[in-house]
Chains A and B, each alone.
Chain A
Amino acid sequence: SQQGEEDPQALSIQEGENATMNCSYKTSINNLQWYRQNSGRGLVHLILIRSNEREKHSGRLRVTLDTSKKSSSLLITASRAADTASYFCATDANTDKLIFGTGTRLQVFP
């Protein structure tokens, strides 16, 4: 079964609102990464959080990691229409490979 699962599968919000996406995984990890993908394009790395970190910020992005619950969340504050994309979490499952979830499709309406 897949390592990462994002929740919700789809999210629609208005510009200016915050968007929160969650990721759950099954095995222990060294780090967890979040990626963004615009429709039909490649993925773009957003942020990496290590297993010994609990929270990380990058601009309007805030990522949390709870290793006891095997879960992570990505918060995008003050969303913009340009944030419309799919967001994926990826974990390493203590290997040298990344395993991606199915993603959350975020739609931000102007």
Chain B
Amino acid sequence: ETGVTQTPRHLVMGMTNKKSLKCEQHLGHNAMYWYKQSAKKPLELMFVYNFKEQTENNSVPSRFSPECPNSSHLFLHLHTLQPEDSALYLCASSRSGQGVNEQFFGPGTRLTVL
């Protein structure tokens, strides 16, 4: 256990559905991240939150909408996704987004878009 939990672990959704991914960290960290991992591609950083403020949006399509209500929780709201959005979505946290620290990852949500 890394201290970062993600739910659900698996999600199948149609292109017209709306769903949300949840991430929670129990490490007292101030920075949280969403990554997308597709087969045979490097891990792609999607969003960074530092002290609840979004500090990075890596040109992510608007059908992905992040929310960070506090430093321990991070959501990724999904709507009108495309089949190419199927991937493993990983959440991570670290002490701070200032400089680069060790990141702690959750187990991921395996998303399949039909």
Residues of A at the B interface (CB closer than 8 Å) are 2, 4, 30-31, 33, 35, 40-45, 48, 88, 92, 95-103
Query: Are the C-beta atoms of B45 and A97 separated by less than 8 Å?
Result: yes
13 A-B pairs (CB sep. < 8 Å): A35-B105, A40-B110, A42-B2, A42-B108, A44-B2, A45-B103, A96-B48, A96-B97, A96-B99, A96-B100, A100-B42, A102-B42, A103-B42
Number of inter-chain CB pairs below 8 Å: 59
Is the Cβ of A88 less than 8 Å from the Cβ of B90?
no
Which of A30, A43, A96, A101 interacts with B42 by CB under 8 Å?
A: A101
Q: What residue of chain B has the Cβ atom nearest to residue A31's Cβ?
A: B100
- B100's partner among A35, A41, A43, A92 (CB-CB below 8 A) is A92
Cβ-closest chain A residue relative to B105: A42
Interface contact B45-A42, CB-CB below 8 Å: no
Bound CA span A3–B104, Å = 20
- When distances are taken between beta carbons in the complex, the residues of chain B under 8 Å from A92 are 99-100
Interface residues of B in 28-75 (CB under 8 A from A): 40-43, 45, 48, 55-56
Residue of A at shortest CB range from B106? A42
A85 CB, min distance to chain B CBs, angstroms: 13
CA distance A45 to B88 in the complex (A): 18
Q: A42-B90, A88-B43 are in contact. Are A97 and B56 (CB under 8 A)?
A: yes
Closest 3 pairs (CB-CB, A-B)? A42-B105, A92-B100, A100-B43
Instruction: Say yes or no for B102: interface residue by CB 8 A criterion.
Output: yes
Q: In the complex the two chains form, what is the Cα distance from A80 to B40 in whole Å?
A: 25
User: Beyond A33-B102, A92-B99: 20 further Cβ-contacts under 8 Å?
Assistant: A4-B42, A30-B99, A31-B100, A40-B88, A42-B2, A42-B4, A42-B90, A42-B106, A42-B108, A44-B105, A45-B102, A48-B102, A95-B100, A96-B55, A96-B98, A96-B99, A97-B45, A98-B103, A102-B40, A102-B41
